[in-house]
Chain A
Amino acid sequence: MSVVISLNLLTATYFSENALLPGLVKGEYDMDTEARSLLVELEAEAASHPHTLPSAWLLSRFHRLSLDAYTHNFTLNYPLGSSSKFTGRNVYGILRAARSSSMEAVMLTVPYRPPDSVHPTTAPGLALMLSLAKFFRRQKYWAKDIIFLVTEHEQLGAQAWLEAYHGASCGLPGVLDHGDLGGRGGAIQAAINLEIHASKIGYIDIKVAGLNGQLPNLDLVNLVHRMCSKEGVRHTFNNKEKVYKNNWWATWSRGIHTLVSMVLTQATGMPNGNHGLFHRFGIEAVTLEGFEKVGRGSPATFFQVGRVLEGLFRSLNNLLERFHQSFFFYLLPDTDRYISIGLYMPCLVMLAGALIIKAFTLWIKVQNNISIAEMESPSSDENDEEDKTVNLNVMLVGTAVFINHLQGVLLFSGTQHFTRITDAYSTENLLYGSYLIGCLLTIVSPYIIRLHKKTDNQWVLLNIIALLELATVLLAVGMNNFSLAFLTAVIYVPPALWLQSSNNRWYKKLLWIVLHPFFMLSWVVLGFTAVTFPELEPLQLLTKAFVANKQALVLCAVDSYIYASWTFNVATIFFLPTWSLFWQLTQSHSESIEATFDEEETAKKQQ
């Protein structure tokens, strides 16, 4: 459904915020030779610091431009396993704007990667940033302080810096000790994260996905694309460039590709760049990732990219109010097309609506059952014994629901303790093992816990509760992270509609076991591994996926503790209990024939 809507109603992006005045002035940046010599110097400096940030060199660079330069130290107390400590250091310089009193600021950040890092280098981006700092220093039009931040340890450094700037801890208290900052520059309005991998740049990819699926204001994204077009730098979204083709099918499939890749990125709830951590603090941010030029054609140089950034900062400098116009909720099928929340939300609502409608019909059915029972008892006086048997025992069903949720909460709150049971095994194995046991428990629990023999109506009531909970959770998640909710809905809604209140056949049970959230993680990781490493043998693939799976689980938990990403929390506290509610239903055996539901009817409603 999402697909159909997106392609028929592709809307071109536009600027809502007039104050940005994108690309109105001619670029003046001309320090590309400076940037190149800085890069040489930086690479020599980096070679002598293979593991850490060359903070002394960076500080001296900032001081030479007479910027206010500071270092920022932070400590991570690793939340899992036997707690170990990691330290890091960020360096930042503040260009004090001549025309303001340090009430507002914009940021340019670069994640520093030492030579031994597994990620591609960002040194060219850092050299470009320093040359821009020198260029910006000489301009008199700045009305907002500009903070140049170089972070260490990827997202950890950025998170620690942001927490220190705002004097707040986002994750579990005591996990990330964010330290303190020496200088500040008022309220930060926007941030640009720069990851340039080479001095000859093929194209710039613009990344938007933030923590918990949060996105930056569409105006900022548009601004970056516009400035890139203006300076003639090839720019992409999710590594897909805009192509102009008359063939509608080519355009369509490309749009779908881009859209699906955005949905998949957003659904993880983890940012795909340091920019994603800023959104929580009300700072609009994007990442510009520049890839090395391969093949023929003229590359974009520091000169052009420098002018792109100059244009960006001059536009941000023009802002009178913080970003508040345009969209905060959107999907992008192309660099200059968008789907607004008004268009994509109905897809999710219709999926969730199918669940609610089924719950509704079930409710009506229960009513009928009761009234039939009443009709059958002829002398239906007020205090009849018969009434109690047909009455729904809410207590019993409530207990079942409560126990299911308790399992989820226990599993979640036990995460840290599971990894501290013993030192004999690694954290990953311990966590994976304990979760496996926990999940097997959820599977066998309906066999163990049989509180009472439930009547027909109670099974139906349980079904209603399960359906309503699934629908509510989907809608609530969809408000924050549409992609996650949509994908979950696509996977879970059809089987949830298919399941009956009782007397489910074995294949339905099997299907539902396969869809266990814990196994879903494995399938996703397996699929991802297969796509990433197509050359692997099946057995190798399985082992690799298994290892990756264990790591993914640990990372999910750690993200929840450090960055307060709620994907893990929602999965254990809401998705898992909802799953086991349905699982309980599949185990029900009822003597009386449960009214079968017209599945076609619900399917129709779904459409």
Chain B
Amino acid sequence: MMKHFVFFIISIHLAFCVFQEDHFYEELLLKPLPSGHVYSYFQFTTVWNTDYNSHKFDHSHLFPRSLGEVVGRFNIQELHISLTEGLWRHESWGYPVNDAPPGAEVWAWFRKDCEDVDKKWKELTAALSGLLCASLNFIDSSNSISPELSFRLSGADNLLNPLNHTHLRYATLPREIVCTENLTPWKKLLPCDSKKGLATLLNAGHIHNTNYHSLGIHLRQICKPDSNCEEPIIELTQTVSLVYDLVILESSTQDWSVRKLFGIGLGGSCPLAESSLVYLDVSSNQTGSPFLLTPEPHERVVSSKGGYTSEFAVFDIKKMGDKLFNIALTHEKPRIYHLNVPPVIYANRYIVGYGQEQGGIVTKLHNTHWAPITVIFLENIPWFVPIYFHTLKIRSGGKEIKPILKKFVPGKERIRPYYLEVVVELKPRSVTEISIEFDYMFLKWQEYPPDANHGFYVGSAVITALLPVARNFTGLPQEGSLFASSMNASRPSYLIQLRTEALIINLPTPDFSMPYNVICLACTVVALAFGPIHNITTKKLLMMKINNDKGIGGFIKRAKFALSKLKSKFQKNETTEETPNSCSCSETKNKDD
């Protein structure tokens, strides 16, 4: 009986697993950057052979259930979250696999059947805020936009009935500070947590010691491989991007190893993973000063893409066993830095003007390619920075450029942000300046944060372009899930999205105790000084005759006086001087007053 029961349990379990049909892959890309920094990119991919309609996310196997519940509940088609500290320097580092702005960024596509998108969006961000311990709950419709052009579904969509931008919400929180409290819940979404596999390298102490670190969660629908995309399946990618500065790591040489970067060696793969690979970009071995790799990689892959060839050393962790081991890179001679070749497109953004009245936001777009490139420029400006659309100027080499397309939705105070999207063609080998002016405005006094003098943040601009060449390009092709899919993946063009610097704006900030003092003092002074001074300057005492007007004569005189007063009121030329009244002393006004 017992035997039967065990068999029953096992068979159910097996059936369940087979039914789940989900796969987990872990990958790590290590790339020495030309500036001497080291870029490491972790990618944990879960692919689940199911679609949103057939599954309610009540049961899950490798897919994180906590995230699944959120996705199921809020009718999400696609979800992208990034939590970043630091700024990716495109000019010297090239392009990352996934670009992210400083702070937090969330964008989500809601499914066709989602009715009240704004409400769902608010609820979604609140739920994510709890899931990731980030203050994403500050996202609501007052800082979210629905860009028409910049963001498209990155995964599969129904061609006959596509989603439009009303189902998209995009928001950034540039002020969000990313730290351990975000990393821990992020790691809990992984099937092996950080107990086993590549995730063991993610020690908070070491990854926050970097110049740039970015956590990402990307959920989308993809086509089932080797099918005509009749049934879409779900793909979840969790990423970590880190950029190490070897100078800060107190390295006297340019040699580095996994242990030096992460404080620990690699100790086997996650048992639940289908594959566990480490890619090390060794392209600079030919061009720069040569280096040695220990241990020898299992495979060397040469990938040529868009006219540029790169070579990768591939380490298969599954083959290395559970022993701790280190991947080290040693230079034979001191490394020589070559002059940095900037990528095809990069951007700078800054504030111009001084004082607390008017200012401008300028974005410089550099195109180093020999052909013109069309880019989409997206600005998401908070409502407290009122920009003027008529001041939008696009200049290149002193000449004004006419944009191909402009989309603008003016903001409303406390209700919605300013949304600006411009499509512009960048001339070959040129710098294009997009500038717009704004006013500094006062907030209501309770809207100032406790550290009001720190300044207010304006999120990054997003620049979207299709690059004709793959120089410095490390991203995956749109249909690929794994890093292996980017090998030899030549395409007509390569989609990149750059995020520029976020900005700090110093809004006019009152000294919060000052108004009280000033009001008290000013009121007292005015009250004390005004009365007497006004009296002395405008009035004076005069001696008057006393008439004892009594009886009928007196009455007539009083009536005459009243009449003359009435008359003077109508004439309004001059005030009466005659005051044949019974009072002994009266005030008269001066004529020229």
Interface residues in chain A, defined as those with a beta carbon under 8 Å from any beta carbon in chain B: 66, 68, 96, 98-104, 137-140, 166-168, 183-184, 186-187, 280-282, 320-322, 324, 360, 363-364, 367, 370-371, 374, 380, 382, 387, 391-392
> Are A186 and B86 in touch, CB under 8 angstroms?
no
> Are B537 and A168 in touch, CB under 8 angstroms?
no
Cβ 8 A contact of A280, one of B211, B354, B451: B354
> Are A103 and B502 in touch, CB under 8 angstroms?
yes
> Are A168 and B352 in touch, CB under 8 angstroms?
yes
Q: Which residues of B contact A139 (CB under 8 A)?
A: 248
Cβ 8 A contact of B348, one of A183, A321, A371: A183
Q: Which residues of A contact B102 (CB under 8 A)?
A: 101, 103
> Are B362 and A167 in touch, CB under 8 angstroms?
yes
- Encode contact with A along B227-267: 1 for CB under 8 Å, 0 otherwise: 00000000000000000010110100000000000000000
Question: In whole Å, how far is B557's beta carbon from the nearest beta carbon of chain A?
Answer: 18
Among A321, A370, A387, chain B packs the most CB atoms within 10 A around the CB of: A321
Cβ 8 A contact of A324, one of B245, B250, B351, B453: B453
Q: Known contacts being A102-B87, A282-B354, is A184 close to B348, with CB within 8 Å?
A: yes
Q: Known contacts being A100-B86, A103-B501, A140-B248, is A167 close to B592, with CB within 8 Å?
A: no
Cβ 8 A contact of B353, one of A168, A320, A370: A168
Q: Which residues of A contact B92 (CB under 8 A)?
A: 68
Using A98-B210, A104-B504 as known contacts, list a sample of 18 further A-B pairs with CB atoms less than 8 Å apart, ordered by residue number in A: A66-B337, A101-B102, A101-B501, A102-B87, A103-B102, A166-B354, A168-B354, A187-B351, A281-B354, A282-B506, A320-B451, A321-B454, A322-B453, A360-B537, A363-B537, A367-B537, A374-B591, A382-B573
> Are A187 and B348 in touch, CB under 8 angstroms?
no
Whether a CB of chain A sits under 8 angstroms from the CB of B152 is no
Q: Which residues of A contact B80 (CB under 8 A)?
A: none
Q: Which residues of B contact A184 (CB under 8 A)?
A: 348, 350
> Are A187 and B504 in touch, CB under 8 angstroms?
yes
CA distance A476 to B106 in the complex (A): 51
Closest-by-CB residue of A relative to B460 is A101
Question: In whole Å, how far is A361's beta carbon from the nearest beta carbon of chain B?
Answer: 11
The 10 closest A-B pairs by CB, nearest first: A167-B352, A101-B87, A101-B102, A321-B453, A324-B453, A321-B454, A140-B248, A281-B354, A98-B211, A103-B504
Q: Which of B58-96 contact A (CB under 8 A)?
A: 85-87, 89, 92
Closest-by-CB residue of A relative to B538 is A367
A-B pairs with beta carbons under 8 Å apart, 24 shown: A66-B36, A98-B211, A98-B245, A101-B85, A101-B87, A101-B501, A102-B87, A138-B250, A167-B352, A167-B353, A167-B360, A167-B362, A168-B354, A186-B504, A187-B351, A281-B354, A320-B454, A322-B454, A363-B537, A364-B537, A367-B537, A371-B590, A380-B577, A382-B573
CA distance A368 to B504 in the complex (A): 61
CA distance A371 to B577 in the complex (A): 12
> Are B504 and A382 in touch, CB under 8 angstroms?
no
Interface residues in chain B, defined as those with a beta carbon under 8 Å from any beta carbon in chain A: 35-36, 85-87, 89, 92, 102, 209-211, 245, 247-248, 250, 337, 348, 350-354, 360, 362, 451-455, 457, 501-504, 506, 509, 511, 536-537, 540, 573-574, 577, 590-592
Q: Which residues of B contact A391 (CB under 8 A)?
A: 591-592
Q: Which residues of A contact B536 (CB under 8 A)?
A: 364
A-B contact count (CB 8 A): 98
Chain B: interface secondary structure? loop
> Are B592 and A370 in touch, CB under 8 angstroms?
yes
Q: Which residues of A contact B353 (CB under 8 A)?
A: 166-168
CA distance A320 to B352 in the complex (A): 22
CA distance A271 to B573 in the complex (A): 57
Closest-by-CB residue of B relative to A140 is B248
Cβ 8 A contact of A138, one of B36, B89, B247, B352: B247
> Are B590 and A367 in touch, CB under 8 angstroms?
yes
Q: Which residues of B contact A282 (CB under 8 A)?
A: 354, 506
Closest-by-CB residue of B relative to A64 is B337
Q: Which residues of A contact B509 (CB under 8 A)?
A: 324
Closest-by-CB residue of A relative to B499 is A101
CA distance A281 to B351 in the complex (A): 12
Question: In whole Å, how far is B497's beta carbon from the nearest beta carbon of chain A?
Answer: 17
CA distance A100 to B177 in the complex (A): 10
> Are B248 and A98 in touch, CB under 8 angstroms?
yes
Closest-by-CB residue of A relative to B451 is A321
CA distance A387 to B337 in the complex (A): 92
Among A98, A99, A137, A322, chain B packs the most CB atoms within 10 A around the CB of: A98
> Are A387 and B591 in touch, CB under 8 angstroms?
yes
CA distance A364 to B535 in the complex (A): 12
Cβ 8 A contact of A66, one of B247, B457, B590, B591: B247
Q: Which residues of B contact A98 (CB under 8 A)?
A: 86, 210-211, 245, 248
Question: In whole Å, how far is A195's beta carbon from the nearest beta carbon of chain B?
Answer: 25
Q: Which residues of A contact B590 (CB under 8 A)?
A: 367, 370-371
> Are A103 and B503 in touch, CB under 8 angstroms?
yes
CA distance A320 to B455 in the complex (A): 10
Q: Which residues of A contact B350 (CB under 8 A)?
A: 167, 184, 186
Q: Which residues of B contact A103 (CB under 8 A)?
A: 102, 457, 501-504
Q: Which residues of A contact B577 (CB under 8 A)?
A: 380
Q: Which residues of A contact B89 (CB under 8 A)?
A: 96
Question: In whole Å, how far is B320's beta carbon from the nearest beta carbon of chain A?
Answer: 32
CA distance A280 to B354 in the complex (A): 8
> Are A66 and B35 in touch, CB under 8 angstroms?
yes
Among A103, A139, A280, A281, chain B packs the most CB atoms within 10 A around the CB of: A103
Cβ 8 A contact of B455, one of A187, A360, A382: A187
Q: Which residues of A contact B87 (CB under 8 A)?
A: 100-102
> Are B592 and A96 in touch, CB under 8 angstroms?
no
CA distance A279 to B511 in the complex (A): 19
Question: In whole Å, how far is B102's beta carbon from the nearest beta carbon of chain A?
Answer: 4
Q: Which residues of B contact A321 (CB under 8 A)?
A: 451-455
Q: Known contacts being A168-B354, A280-B354, is A138 close to B348, with CB within 8 Å?
A: no
Question: In whole Å, how far is A254's beta carbon from the nearest beta carbon of chain B?
Answer: 34
CA distance A392 to B590 in the complex (A): 13
CA distance A391 to B591 in the complex (A): 9
Closest-by-CB residue of B relative to A139 is B248
> Are A382 and B540 in touch, CB under 8 angstroms?
no
